[in-house]
Amino acid sequence: MELKKIIILPFLFIIIGLNAQTDFRSGYVILNSNDTLHGIIDYRNDLSMGSICRFKLDKNAIEKIYYPDEIIGYRFNDSKYFITKDLSNSNSKKGKVFLEFLIKGKLNVYFYQDEIGDHYYIEKQGFDLIELPYEEGIKYKDNAPYYYQSTQHIGLLELYLQDAPDLRSNIESIKKPEQDILIMLARDYHNEVCKNEQCIIYEKKESPVKFSLEPLVGYEKFAQVEDYTSGSFIEYGANLYIWMPRSSEKIYFKTGIAFAKIGNTRFYKVPLQLQYVYPSNLFRPIASLGINYYAFNISGGHYPFHLLHASGGFIYKILKNTYLSANISGEFTPIWDKIMFRTDSRRIQLVSYSLNVGLYIEL
C-alpha cells in the first residue's frame, strides 16, 4: 500500500468515529418516583445534556436513555446538576427540558443551551420561573449603524430582588447575563435576605480558559513532491493548547513552534489546528486537523508556505497533570494553493510525514 494511504486511512477512521465517542462519569438519576439510581452518565456538551440523559448502572450495563418527562433530574457527582423544568409557558415554548441547576437558594438560577444560544432562568418563591432575555447586535438609526445590547434582564432582576435594595447597583452593572455573574448575584442576595442557612452552588467552578504545554521532539521526512526536496531531520519545539471547559472539554486550539537545522538551512514550523481529545482518566486518543505554517531560511533567503495537516495519536497519564504524548502526522498540499506551489496539479499530495513524542502538561 502507498505511504499516502497508510497515513490517510487512520485519520479517516478517527474522524468518522469522533461523534460516536462517549464519556461516562459517576453520577445518579432521580426518577419520577423519587427513587435514586446510582451509576455512570454520559458527559456531553450542554446542548445535548439539556435534552437527553444517557445512563448506565455500570460500565458493562446496557445504556438507558432518559428524557425530561421521564425523570426529575440527574447529576454528575460533585459537578453539574440537571433538573426537569417545563418551559411550555415561556417564550421558547419548548416543553420539558433539562435545565442545569447553577445555584439553589432564595433565588434559583438555571442555565440552558439550544441551537439559538445560551439561556438563563431565575426562580423565586412567589414568582414564576422566567428567562432573563438578552440580545445584542448591530442596529441602524438614521442609516447609521450602532451596537445594541438589550437591558430587559436588568428590570427583571430588580423586580425579583426588590427586597434587597443594596444590590441594585450590582444589578445595573450586569451588561450581559453570564454564569459567574448570576451565581455571585444570587449568592449575595441569599446572604442578604437569609441569615440562617447557606445557598447551594451546584455549578462546577472552573477557569473559563485553560492551557496545556507540550515540549516535544520528533522526526520529520519530506518527500520529493513539487518544489520540495526530499530529506529527513530531527525537530524540537513546544505546543500550546487552549480550550474553554464550559464550551467543550474535548476540543482544543493548538499552536506552538518547532525548529530544526540541516547544514546551513534553518527550519521553523507553527501549527494552527483544532485538536480532539477523547476524555479518559488514563489513556486518551487524540486527532488534529488544520494547517502548519512553514518557513525555511536558506542562504539568507526566507521561504514561507503552509500545508494541510492531519494527525492522530494518544496521551498517556504518568503523573497527576502530566502525560506522555505521541502522534504521527502528515502534511499535504492544499488544493487552493496551486499558485503558491507553482503547480498546475489540483490533487492533494503528501508532502511530509512525521512522528513526535513529548510531555503533555496541564497548567
For residue range 145-201, list pLDDT tens digits in order.
878 888 999 999 999 999 999 999 999 999 999 888 999 999 999 999 887 888 888
**pLDDT band at residue 107 using 50, 70 and 90 as cut-offs:** very high
Cα distance between residue 100 and residue 121, in whole Å: 10
Residue at 360: amino acid letter: Y
Mean pLDDT of all residues in the chain?
81
CA 352 to centroid of chain Cα atoms = 30
Long-range (24+ apart) CB contacts under 8 A made by 126-132 are 127/160, 128/89, 129/85, 129/90, 130/90, 130/156, 131/90, 131/91, 131/92, 132/156, 132/157, 132/177, 132/182
Q: Is 79:72 a contact under the CB 8 Å cutoff?
A: no
Q: Is 88:81 a contact under the CB 8 Å cutoff?
A: no
For residue range 14-70, list pLDDT tens digits in order.
444 444 456 788 999 999 999 999 999 988 777 788 899 999 998 889 999 999 999
pLDDT over 90 at 209, yes or no = no
SS (H, E, C) 222-246: ECCCCCCCCEEEEEEEEEEEEECCC
Q: For residue 36, what pLDDT is reported?
A: 94
Give all domains of the chain, ordered by start, each with its CATH number.
23-201 (no CATH), 208-362 (2.40.160.20)
In terms of phi and psi (left: phi > 0; alpha: psi -120 to 50; beta: otherwise), the region of 42 is beta
Phi, psi of 141 (to 5 degrees): -135, 125
Cα distance between residue 120 and residue 113, in whole Å: 9
Q: Is 247:113 a contact under the CB 8 Å cutoff?
A: no
Phi, psi of 191 (to 5 degrees): -65, -25
Residue at 152: amino acid letter: Q
Residue at 351: amino acid letter: V
pLDDT over 50 at 349, yes or no = yes
Q: Are strands 24-31 and 36-42 parallel, antiparallel or unpaired?
A: antiparallel
**Residue 283: in which H helix or E strand, if any?**
strand 283-298
DSSP 3-state of 268: strand
Q: For residue 78, what pLDDT is reported?
A: 80
Q: How is residue 239 written as a grid cell? A: 505546543
Q: For residue 203, what pLDDT is reported?
A: 64
